[in-house]
Amino acid sequence: MVFFIFLLLCVGRLFFIQFFRSDYLISIAKKQHNQLVELEPRRGTIHDSNLKAQAFNMSMDSLYGVPNAIKNKEALINQLQPILGLERSYLTERLNRKKSFIWLARKLAPEKAERIKRLNLKGLGFMKETKRIYPNSYLASHIIGFSGMDNIGLEGVERGYDNYLKGTPGWAIFLRDARLKKLDIWEKMVLPVDGLDLVLTIDEVIQYIAERELDKAFKTFHAKGASIVVMEPHTGRILAMANRPTYDLNDHSEVSKDVIRNRAICDLFEPGSVFKIVTASAALEEKIVTEEDVFFCENGAYKVGGRILHDHKPHGNLTFRQVIEESSNIGTVKVAQLLGQDKLYQYVKEFGFGSKLGIDISGEISGVVRPVRLWSKTSITSIPMGQEVGVTALQLASAISVIANGGQLMKPYIIDSVRDTQGRIIKQNKPILIRKVISVDTAMRIKKILTGVIEEGTGKLGKVLGFSAAGKTGTAQKLEPDGRYSHNKFVASFIGFAPAEDPLLTIVVTVDEPHPYYFGGVVAAPVFQKVAGDAIRYLKGNQIPLEAMAQ
């Protein structure tokens, strides 16, 4: 009788479990034997203009643990800690969590993963993930930027074009055995969609040349910072853009925001004498002067508007051509006075200053150009020679390109195209004309004057061996915190293009606080000379091998 009652109770219990507890127990079984795994898409590759990879993903092993399946955690930690090189407290905290899955180390070096696999430790497993690799380390770091551990773009085009690059994750439900070890058997799967590839306008070789020479000047003159922009004047394509200081894209964890920022598009500075191309172009375009008009340069000191202007060396009578070639502040201001403040302001804006140019990477600033109503009585004596305005290196590159290409302001761009994994073009960028600034005739006349700057004037060290070149030097005093101009802090710059008769590229070089020498013609012009010469020879078919640049 007792046995019969016991049997009825068992049957009743089984009946209860089968019809009232089955869903709950099935869910527990699924959690134990099924593992939902996100399938990572391939992040798109970033190429230079010649389709050489600048950033790509490599498959790596990531180590995970199943804390609930690990009995002797201390022994496991003792074996793992020397291999991983992680803090013991970190591993202890992770493995003591009441979870069935925790990451222990992501994207391990192959030799570390292999050593752990040989230990065959219970409760550990590996999952394939991809790690972002930057084969040229520092090269074009401020353009490319970097992505984080989860392949999300954090800086540069990695961030700006993350929606194109990242792709769409997939997922799969894998079966696990009684020891919770993942089996290579799946129940359901949705495949990931790989990210799209980016093709930059940057040329790896020209970028290397530009960085090599900028780095030399940065170190030789003990500068605070430096930037260079190399552009195709007729299209607005950026062939190279670099800054110093720089950093290794593969090792950016300890790098400060000051080093990461792209100075060429987000640093504001007074341009100094390179800005005289605006005054000169406006005066010729408005037919205020001719090249041979003579201006008395007051033997180096000119009292006007309550201030005394000085030239870097005294001059008497100079023609308008010589005023620009010799970079006379006094002569330039006298030309601007004939032009008038309204016309001067108009051309400053026409050349693209005081507005964003719309380059297709984030961080660009508009610079500072005050409207005429906010000018002081002395502004007409300051702005023509590059004071009381704030510009970027990119704006200077676009402005000198106006002279080089016959008077057109082109929109600068750094992304050539977006392509799928089969190489099909999804999006193609093309040259965009912002506006016509000056006539072809005026551009040709200014071009001849700027050729004279290199041949006879302040830019002799910018003369390119084997090619003609045109350019302008600049040496700008920096402002002190109290608003006065510094006597020991300068920005040295050079803007130019080559070959002068049919320009292939324009180059802007700026060096922040160089010493002991600080003149643009001494510090920045030689960078232009070397970059222009090597880049043109390369573009004309003379290949230049890439080498590791000494850091």
Which residues are known catalytic residues?
273
The CA distance from 535 to 23, in Å, is 71
CA angle (271 as vertex; 265, 276 as ends), nearest 5: 125
Q: What is the DSSP letter of 384?
A: G
Asked whether the CA dihedral 447, 448, 451, 452 is positive or negative, the reply is negative
Three-class secondary structure of residue 182 per DSSP: strand
Backbone angles phi, psi at 391, to 5 degrees: -130, 170
Residue closest to 45 by CA, chosen among 200, 155, 228, 185: 200
Residue the block writes with tokens 């222990």: 104
| Cross-strand pairs, 473 | 494
3-state secondary structure of 455: helix
Give Cβ neighbours of residue 23 (< 8 Å, ≥ 6 apart). Answer: none
Q: Which positions ≥6 away from 548 have C-beta within 8 Å?
A: none
- Compute the distance between CA of residue 85 and CA of residue 107 in angstroms, rounded to an integer: 14
Q: What are phi and psi of 165, to 5 degrees?
A: -80, -35
Alpha-carbon distance values, 312 to 274, 300, 303, 316, 352 (Å) = 14, 8, 16, 13, 28
Residue entry with tokens 């400053």: 348
Strand partners, 497: 470, 506
Q: Where are the alpha helices (H) located in 320-428, listed in sequence order?
A: 320-325, 329-339, 341-350, 379-382, 393-404
Q: How far apart are CA 242 and CA 233, in angstroms?
A: 18
Q: Report CA torsion sign: 119, 124, 129, 133.
A: negative
